[in-house]
Amino acid sequence: MGLRGVCILLSAVSLAMLAACSQPRQEPYPVENIVYTETGSMMPVPFSHRSHLAKGAACQDCHPVIFEMRQGMADATKRLNMKTIYEGDYCGVCHNGKKAFGLEKCSGCHLGGHM
């Protein structure tokens, strides 16, 4: 392939990349609640994409820095628990009484509180 061929190829590749970049891919979000059940004697914690998006959250407010886009990862790493949440990670990034209701409102997340 001559220099001209290489140039044409490179232009074609960059055009394709431009097209891909200018059209951000809108990933579908889970419509069903994601339910966290490692809650001991407390009720499980449902997480609703729909209600968070309705409150104005954008995908990048949570993905990928706070949560991977794969259900169960935060539990698989064993880091999603009240200690890390109180330390300001995961749900605790926002649920600190400033951006969203604080952690003292147990029943806000653990539906109805104790089992």
In the complex, the residues that contact ligand HEC under the rule CB under 6 A are 27, 29-30, 34, 36-40, 42, 45, 47-49, 51-53, 55, 57, 59, 61-63, 66-75, 80-83, 85, 90-91, 93-95, 99-101, 103-106, 108-110
Q: By C-beta, is 9 or 70 nearer to ligand HEC?
A: 70
* Degrees, nearest 5: CA angle 89-51-77: 30
Q: By C-beta, is 14 or 107 nearer to ligand HEC?
A: 107
Q: How many CA atoms lie within 13 A of 21 on its CB side?
A: 6
- The answer to whether the beta carbons of residues 111 and 43 sit under 8 Å apart is yes
